[in-house]
Amino acid sequence: MEAEVLIVGAGPVGLTLAVELARYGVTVRIVDKAAQRSDKSKALAVWSRTLELLDRSGCAATLVAAGKQVAAANIVAGGKTIGRVELGGVKSPHPYALMLPQSETERLLEAHLNGLGVQVERGLKLVRFTDRADSVTATLRHYDGSEEKIQSQWLVGCDGAHSAVRDGMRMVFTGDTPPCTWVLAEVRLQGLRNPGEIEVGWHADGMLAIFPIAGERYQVIADMGPSQTAEGQPDPALSDVQALLDKRGRGGVRASEPGWLTKFRVNERKVENYRRGHVFLAGDAAHVYSPAGAQGMNTGMQDAFNLAWKLALVCRGICQEEPLLDGYSSERSEVGEQVLKTTGRIASLALVHGDLKQTMRNYIASLVFGFSPARSAMADTISEVSIEYPHSPMNVQGSKFFQHPAAGERVPMREGEAPIGAGDRPRFVLCADISEVTARSAAAVLVGLYGQLAEETVRAPFGEGGMWLVRPDGYVALVTRAGEWDDVAAYLDRLARRR
Ligand SMILES: Cc1cc2nc3c(=O)[nH]c(=O)nc-3n(C[C@H](O)[C@H](O)[C@H](O)COP(=O)(O)OP(=O)(O)OC[C@H]3O[C@@H](n4cnc5c(N)ncnc54)[C@H](O)[C@@H]3O)c2cc1C
């Protein structure tokens, strides 16, 4: 076997997966058909939950140092702010949106990966693969046309929206391509009312979103209304961008020094199942969204975090394949479905046509935005801290008595503590409301029984009388009463590999 895991595609999702697997000691190969890394800004926003997970990988700090922290997003209609979502109240060590061009995110992830001893193999295109009983054989084509076969235990398609892996799995990519062309422009902007913040303009002609990059540089995205194809249409010029800002924005904003100017189409699609046999899909290969919610890259990177610890536990021979590996598909497919709905809603709100409908939308939106719990809920949704796995087949809610965090919920991050899941071993951590001594000796017995699956360190509990088993990605696996060691043992026993 040449690699335990072959990753196809070195975009942000493939790189995140490679970083996670490499830190857990899994042998990976990661290939990309492109000769060089992309230099395009595309996804700018790295949201709070993604940064929390990157903290575990040890690379959040590097990204944070390179990016720009943005504290709020404003919704503007008719030249007025009708809503403002503050991210400072998000309960996370990263209560902001980190603005970092996708090209930089990829560069920093790749540097981190190189530090873990793995190099991206570029100019290697997956052309086909065969999934056998216990491994996958992939055929890769070099630039000179020569072909190479790689045998791996697992194959993960992180190869983007036009995924060859998805085609090879014969997965249907269900959804729509709305008949609308979008433009993207990187420009210098002067005269903004809230410089350094995100601004989303709702206008009768369509939406206009402004994302800060650094200093006075911004990314402007706008939909250009119905059209059957973006093919043959010219890329926007600076004068087009200025016209959009004048018509759809608050006015008084001047665009200059254009960088990347382009147009694109949006797809809203998803596969139903993220796994078939030894082959998985993650990121845009599994789901694509409207850019209106800026969620695509973040959701994809979180697919990678979810899959990595499960594959690592299986590759290390600590866990059997089920329910972990099918759990990846059911957990992330449900999240993918929710994000599809949320970004679809955001897009359809922004793209309402007709004067009366727009007046009503603006009126209702200003009422909703005026309501503080609604603003907090929106901040939690876009920052992705509200992503949870309430219906996961891996959850065990041993006691209804302890409501939060319930099985499937994200555990609160604690000031000054290393995040659960950091380090080089994927392991479950016990948080128990019993004396340290009792807990430690009981946990030691469990560790003895379940090898490296459970962590001996006992952390403070989340409530009186309860006991929580937390997964390597910081979600609650099991909740039970303090001292119910049989529940913990039964949970770990279900995962542990039979010897
Ligand atoms: C204009 C724009 C703005 C966006 N803004 C945001 C945002 O603010 N926030 C957000 O979260 N998302 C945003 N997105 C979405 C985001 O860019 C994507 O979701 C993200 O790039 C997906 O990452 P990925 O790694 O899954 O796929 P990709 O980035 O597409 O990477 C796939 C890689 O696979 C390689 N590959 C493909 N086929 C093969 C093959 N057969 N063999 C080998 N290699 C192969 C490709 O060369 C590529 O490097 C935006 C997208 C666009 C277009």
Digit-coded pLDDT (tens) for 15-57: 999 999 999 999 999 999 999 999 998 999 999 999 999 999 9
Q: Above 80 in pLDDT, residue 442?
A: no
Of the pLDDT bands very low, low, confident and very high (cuts 50, 70, 90), residue 265 is: confident
Amino acid identity, position 229: T
Number of structural domains, the chain?
Answer: 3
Of the pLDDT bands very low, low, confident and very high (cuts 50, 70, 90), residue 467 is: confident
- Ligand 1 atom nearest to CA at 262: 1
Amino acid identity, position 387: I
Do 118 and 31 share a structural domain? yes
Between 325 and 412, where is the model more confident? 325
Do 116 and 28 share a structural domain? yes
Distance 109 CA to ligand 1 centre (A): 14
Is 370 within a domain?
no
Range of the domain at 287: 3-44+101-175+272-349
Is 391 within a domain?
no
Do 334 and 199 share a structural domain? no
Q: Which residues, in sequence order, are CB contacts of 362 under 8 Å at separation 6+?
A: 77, 78, 82, 202
Distance 478 CA to ligand 1 centre (A): 34
Q: Above 90 in pLDDT, residue 489?
A: no
Q: Which of 116-130, 173-187, 411-425, 454-468 comes out lowest in average pLDDT?
A: 454-468
Distance 64 CA to ligand 1 centre (A): 21
Is 93 within a domain?
no
Of the pLDDT bands very low, low, confident and very high (cuts 50, 70, 90), residue 358 is: confident
Distance 276 CA to ligand 1 centre (A): 22
Overall average pLDDT of the 441-452 stretch: 68
For the record, the structure tokens of 391 come out as 């219906």
- Ligand 1 atom nearest to CA at 102: 17
Overall average pLDDT of the 239-243 stretch: 94
Residues 370-384 have pLDDT tens digits of 788 888 999 999 999
Ligand 1 atom 1: the closest Cα is on which residue? 42
Q: Is the pTM of this model over 0.85?
A: yes
Which ranges constitute the DSSP H helices of 42-189? Answer: 48-57, 60-66, 102-115, 164-168
Distance 216 CA to ligand 1 centre (A): 26
Residues 289-348 have pLDDT tens digits of 987 778 999 999 999 999 999 999 999 998 999 999 999 999 999 999 999 998 878 777
Looking at residue 235, what is its pLDDT? Answer: 84
Q: Above 80 in pLDDT, residue 226?
A: no
Q: Above 80 in pLDDT, residue 416?
A: no
Distance 67 CA to ligand 1 centre (A): 19
Amino acid identity, position 92: S
Q: CATH code at 234?
A: 3.30.70.2450
Q: In the chain, pLDDT over 70 holds for what percent of residues?
A: 93
Q: Which H, E and C letters describe 203-260, residue by residue?
A: ECCEEEEEEEEECCEEEEEEEEEECCCCCCCCCCCHHHHHHHHHHHCCCCCEEECCCC
Distance 102 CA to ligand 1 centre (A): 9
Looking at residue 110, what is its pLDDT? Answer: 98
Of 265, 291, 324, the last residue of a domain is 265
Of the pLDDT bands very low, low, confident and very high (cuts 50, 70, 90), residue 173 is: very high
Ligand 1 atom 3: the closest Cα is on which residue? 42
Do 332 and 192 share a structural domain? no
Overall average pLDDT of the 182-195 stretch: 94
Pocket test for ligand 1, best of 33, 38, 268 (most atoms within 8 A of CB): 33
Amino acid identity, position 368: V
Of the pLDDT bands very low, low, confident and very high (cuts 50, 70, 90), residue 232 is: low
Looking at residue 175, what is its pLDDT? Answer: 93
Looking at residue 344, what is its pLDDT? Answer: 79
Place of tokens 């199942």: 273
Q: What kind and span of H or E run contains 481?
A: strand 476-481
Looking at residue 294, what is its pLDDT? Answer: 84
For the ranges 227-236, 424-433, 434-443, the maximum mean pLDDT occurs at 424-433
* DSSP label of 498: P
Cis, bond preceding 323 (omega within 30 deg of 0): yes
Residues near ligand 1 (Cβ within 6 A): 8-14, 31-34, 42-45, 102, 125-126, 158-160, 164, 184, 264, 283-284, 291, 294-298, 300
Between 464 and 245, where is the model more confident? 245
Ligand 1 atom 53: the closest Cα is on which residue? 42
Do 224 and 238 share a structural domain? yes
Amino acid identity, position 57: S
The residue among 238, 259, 178, 244 whose CA lies nearest residue 207 is: 244
- Ligand 1 atom nearest to CA at 282: 26
Q: Which residues, in sequence order, are CB contacts of 493 under 8 Å at separation 6+?
A: 450
Of 321, 349, 377, the last residue of a domain is 349
Q: Rounded to an integer, what distance in angstroms lies between the CA atom of residue 103 and that of residue 37?
A: 8
Distance 350 CA to ligand 1 centre (A): 24
Q: Which of 8-12, 154-158, 313-317 comes out lowest in average pLDDT?
A: 313-317
Q: Above 70 in pLDDT, residue 474?
A: yes
Is 56 within a domain?
no
Ligand 1 atom 5: the closest Cα is on which residue? 43
Q: Rounded to an integer, what distance in angstroms lies between the CA atom of residue 395 and that of residue 475?
A: 10
Pocket test for ligand 1, best of 15, 141, 159 (most atoms within 8 A of CB): 159
- Ligand 1 atom nearest to CA at 300: 26
Distance 271 CA to ligand 1 centre (A): 16
Cis, bond preceding 461 (omega within 30 deg of 0): no
Longest CA span, the chain: 71
Residues 53-93 have pLDDT tens digits of 999 999 999 999 999 999 999 988 888 888 899 999 999 99
Do 118 and 32 share a structural domain? yes
Place of tokens 């942000």: 12
Distance 301 CA to ligand 1 centre (A): 11
Q: Which of 146-160, 349-363, 460-474 comes out lowest in average pLDDT?
A: 349-363
Q: Which residues, in sequence order, are CB contacts of 444 under 8 Å at separation 6+?
A: 456
For the ranges 271-280, 343-352, 368-377, 473-482, the maximum mean pLDDT occurs at 271-280
Distance 160 CA to ligand 1 centre (A): 5
Do 225 and 317 share a structural domain? no
- Ligand 1 atom nearest to CA at 140: 42
Do 289 and 152 share a structural domain? yes
